[in-house]
Amino acid sequence: MPEPPQDRVELLQGTLDMLILRTLLFGPAHGHEIARHIQRTTNDVLQVEHGSLYPALHRLERQKWVAARWETARDRNRQFKYYRLTPAGRKQLAREESKWKQLAHAIGRVMRPAPGA
């Protein structure tokens, strides 16, 4: 089995959920679209594997932060499970973004301490 690339970035636990919720803020999407959006917007730094994505989507669905429905894709004659953000998911996204900002700020203080600190 090949080793993962050395420059691959691992997500902190819970971060994938936040990225999925943020992606769905733009509208309903199926799993592959969600993974592609995250990869594209991070310039390929984050590549979400299906083995991580679908368990996260199912977890978010159980929490009622996303709702899912099977639909036929507009450009294909095939059914896909489309996920959409629920009102509870919007509230959860706001909470997660707030926690993320606090965490990023705290890490920034350790990585770049104020002069004289």
Q: Is the pTM of this model over 0.95?
A: no
What's the pLDDT score for residue 83? 98
Q: Say if residue 67's pLDDT is above 60.
A: yes
User: Cα separation of 97 and 27, whole Å?
Assistant: 18
Q: Say if residue 95's pLDDT is above 70.
A: yes
Higher pLDDT among residues 46 and 74, named by residue: 46
CATH architecture label of 15-109 = Orthogonal Bundle (1.10)
pLDDT digits (tens, 9 = 90+) for 28-59: 999 999 999 999 999 999 999 999 999 999 99
